[in-house]
Amino acid sequence: MTQPEILMPALMPGSIVDALEARFTLHRLWEQPDPDAFLAGAAPHIRGVAANTLAGRIDTNWFDRLPALEIVASFGVGYDNVDARAAAARGIVVTNTPGVLDDEVADLTIGLLLATLRGIPQADRFVREGRWPEGPFPLSPTLRGRTVGIIGLGAIGKAVARRLEGFDVPVAYHGRSRQPDIPYTYHPTPVALAAAVDVLIAIVPGGDATRHLIDRDVLAALGPQGVLINVARGSVVDQPALIAALKEGTILAAGLDVFADEPHVPSELRVMPRVVLLPHIGSASERTRAAMGALVVDNLVAWFDTGRPISPVPECDRLP
Ligand code: NAP
Ligand code: 8YV
């Protein structure tokens, strides 16, 4: 029996490549000297795509070229890199990797919050640069006495909130709707949430619906002692407005794991003293990336064995 043919447009972790090669005919597009010529020949047979953000956006340009495509297995819980509506309209299933990374991303979020408030990377640089003998490290802001607002109280947002309960700080949240049986205070708009808290954590999906959800008005409402932590997507924050707010003292500090144009980070952010910058590492431990990779593979195997993917995105969960 011939194995289903899977296209991998860009390099993915070795464990995924190995597992897919054991089970499918895998085409590693990034290794092809002439990818367009290769695709012209292989496209009619390709039934699945395995992709991460290095592949760019998977949208109608790809769907038009791959007439036999049945499934796109995306590496990551956020799938703003895939046009899931267009896929669903053509009967193509999109899967993501929910659940297996919630705790890892929540841990990193708390780490980034404390690093930003207490200046942990700055203090580390202070010691390494031999500046301690010249005098003590400056006193820092604190988490004590603050209220934390979460924009996006989903699976990861709730894992962050649970951790914050252990830090004895009040939690509030914003989403499109109030959630029943949630003990935290709900605010119907991002501005209302920002005005009620002095730490704002963004952990919503990216895409058009959340573009610049955190804009100049939200930052102004957060106020001069306010701290923004963005672990969602760079598109969720108006980055020029954030840079202006940090420069002008509209807010106090920011901890950022995601950026508008990754991997490029504006030099203005890189030189700011009260900013902690991470290279999109929310889920990036060996253990969690392996679990995400296994779910990418399991989705493809389940689809071709049973016709039922394990974790289809909501836009595609009614497809047969
Ligand atoms: P989830 O369980 O689907 O939760 C998403 C939350 O966002 C929900 O509570 C939803 O509440 C809210 N939301 C959705 N659209 C909104 C809108 N237009 N305005 C306000 N709130 C909105 O997703 P998750 O698993 O927690 O992941 C969330 C996101 O985190 C991912 O999509 C990804 O972008 C990001 N992420 C980043 C990293 C990293 O490495 N930094 C890692 C993993 C995930 P309502 O439905 O009530 O609005
Ligand atoms: C990954 C993420 O770094 O799951 C997500 O939404 O942002 C991260 O876990 C990313 O998807 C890797 O491509």
> What is the chain's mean pLDDT, rounded?
97
Gap from CA of 126 to ligand 2 centroid (Å): 32
Ligand 1 atom nearest to 282, measured from its CA: 40
**Is pLDDT at 263 greater than 70 in this prediction?**
yes
Asked if residue 130 and residue 224 are part of one domain, the reply reads: yes
Does residue 131 sit in the same domain as residue 212?
Answer: yes
Q: Are 140 and 186 found together in one domain?
A: yes
Which residue puts its alpha carbon closest to atom 22 of ligand 1?
A: 175
Q: In CATH, what number is assigned to the domain containing residue 155?
A: 3.40.50.720
Q: How far apart are CA 151 and CA 13, in angstroms?
A: 31
Together in a domain, 121 and 90: no
Same domain, 175 and 247: yes
Q: Report how many domains make up the chain.
A: 2
Give residue ranges with CB within 6 A of ligand 1.
Answer: 77-78, 98, 101, 105, 152-157, 175-177, 203-206, 209-210, 213, 231-233, 257-258, 280, 282-283
How much distance in Å is there from the Cα of 250 to the middle of ligand 2?
Answer: 30
Do 141 and 11 share a structural domain? no
Section 80-94 average pLDDT: 97
Whether 202 is in a domain gets the answer yes
Q: Is residue 178 part of a domain?
A: yes
Instruction: Say whether pLDDT at 15 is over 80.
Output: yes
Same domain, 152 and 294: no
Query: Residue 137: is its pLDDT beyond 70?
Result: yes
The verdict on 126 and 218 lying in the same domain is yes
3-state helix, strand, coil in the chain (%, to 5): 45, 15, 40
Same domain membership, residue 126 and residue 206: yes
pLDDT value at position 320? 66
The residues annotated with a catalytic role in the active site are 233, 262, 280
Asked if 259 and 234 count as a contact pair (C-beta separation under 8 A), the reply is yes
Q: Is residue 282 domain-resident? A: no
Rounded distance between C-alpha atoms, residue 152 and residue 190, angstroms = 10
**pTM, full prediction:** 0.97
Rounded distance between C-alpha atoms, residue 122 and residue 271, angstroms: 12
Q: Is the peptide bond before 263 cis (omega within 30 degrees of 0)?
A: yes
- Residue 156 Cα to ligand 1 middle (Å): 7
